[in-house]
Amino acid sequence: MEELERDRLAAVISRYAVHAREGGSLGEALCATCVDILGLEGSAIMLMAPGGTHRTLGASDEVMEKIEELQHTLGEGPCLDAFRHDVPVLVADLAANDSATTWIGFTPGALDAGAGAVFGFPLHAGAGRIGALNVYARNAGQLSVDQHQDALLLADVVAHAILALQAGADDLVGALGDIGAHQTQINQATGMVAAQLGLSTVDALGRLRAYAYASSKSVSEIAVEVISRRLRLEP
């Protein structure tokens, strides 16, 4: 993990530790951490299953609660699309975007609730997905490069925290520190696959995830095999 990524992870874990001591739920602490790090108005975490069931783990404010309710009720919105398509969903201007034709009910409802921009990021558990991180801004505007990178990291942290809790981790703050080791391996393997196959790093990571899914293994496990040269993906 590069120094900048380590610093970002350390900042996230530090803020989470502060909110965890406030005595709220896991979802509340994670959402408050996301708001702090991204500097946006609100965040929420939606957990989903492949069969279509979903529930909100936490929401940071009333606007976010309304946005989550819209998604649950209508079956459309950034979290659901991020989960279904396994890509970040970035709508920088709800009023001007063609999401009004895609999310016929969600878009006017979210605007009425007070959101000018919404962003959804899938939560990964190995090769699969367990939900999505949803954030909103009151005013329209794109995420900065730093905000986008931080949001991707936060999605990893949220997923890791949920899985660690389910596994019965006693020290959740300590467990979050393990993200760095896993991410270093994935980054290294992504670079190797990109060089071997002549792909962009985005496409190379996609190949790793696809192979992991087909093999019923985690991306980290496949990354270790690539790094140790026990596995070479074919073009």
pLDDT-flagged residues of the chain (< 50): none
Q: What CATH number corresponds to the domain at position 201?
A: 1.10.10
Please indicate, yes or no, whether residues 98 and 35 belong to a single structural domain of this protein: yes
- 227: CB partners within 8 A, 6+ apart: 185, 188, 189, 192
Please indicate, yes or no, whether residues 76 and 160 belong to a single structural domain of this protein: yes
- pLDDT tens digit sequence for 90-103: 999 999 867 667 89
Q: Of 159, 176, 193, which marks where a domain is finished?
A: 176
For residue 105, which amino acid is it? G
**Quick check: is 235 in a domain?**
no
Cross-strand pairs, 119: 90, 135
Q: pTM for this structure?
A: 0.76
Structural domain of 54: 3-176
Could you tell me the sign of the dihedral formed by the alpha carbons of 34, 124, 85, 188, in that order? Answer: positive
- pLDDT tens digit sequence for 1-51: 566 677 888 899 899 999 999 988 899 999 999 999 999 999 999 998 766
Please indicate, yes or no, whether residues 132 and 213 belong to a single structural domain of this protein: no
CB 136 within 8 A of CB 64: yes
* Structural domain count of the chain: 2
